[in-house]
């Protein structure tokens, strides 16, 4: 029962997308995924990636994944946001999720990050208990806020603009993305 954690490569993109779809189905939002192999490759494996991905393997087979990115807190400095962590249901309880979380935590420490943050659905009791057992702090007084789609374009003053190529801002000087590592 060997568990290995490795950085994802471009060749993993189809598997990453299948994990994303499986996670969305588990989270009761199977139709919410708009990511494609092309967008995952562009956004994670270009010269300025927006995310990083780890693949967990169990006995040589892909068993789960974690997607994370660097963020910045004006109060404490750099951090990592764990966007997704997922282990195939039939392989849960074998330590794969813990190994993924430990590796993301190690990456945070290696990069001088002050915290690791993520979200969990309030009905996902097994995950909540898993995180509590590892010492995670739950910030119930904070509310998640999101703006997307037409509301985002309206706020940006581009409500009538068609969707542009994501993140031309990656080429802007002095972006926080450039300072992450």
CB 108 within 8 A of CB 115: yes
68 is catalytic: no
Catalytic residue among 65, 72, 81, 131: 131
Give phi and psi for 60, each to the nearest 5: 85, 0
β-bridge mates for residue 137, sequence order? none
Q: Which residues are catalytic?
A: 131
């Amino acid at each position: 029962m060997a568990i290995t954690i490795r950085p994802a490569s471009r060749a993993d993109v189809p598997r990453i997308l299948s994990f994303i779809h499986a996670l969305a189905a588990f989270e009761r939002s199977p139709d919410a995924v708009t990511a494609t192999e092309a967008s995952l490759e562009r956004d994670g494996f270009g010269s300025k990636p927006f995310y990083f991905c780890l693949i967990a393997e169990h006995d040589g087979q892909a068993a789960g994944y974690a997607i994370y990115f660097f963020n910045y807190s004006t109060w404490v400095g750099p951090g990592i946001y764990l966007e997704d962590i997922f282990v195939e249901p039939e392989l849960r309880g074998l330590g794969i999720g813990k190994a993924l979380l430990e590796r993301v935590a190690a990456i945070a420490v290696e990069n001088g990050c002050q915290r690791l943050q993520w979200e969990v659905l309030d009905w996902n009791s097994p995950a909540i208990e898993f995180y509590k057992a590892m010492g995670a702090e739950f910030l119930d007084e904070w509310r998640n806020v999101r703006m997307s789609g037409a509301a985002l374009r309206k706020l940006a003053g581009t409500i009538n603009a068609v969707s542009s190529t994501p993140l031309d801002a990656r080429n802007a000087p002095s972006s926080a993305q450039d300072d992450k590592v």
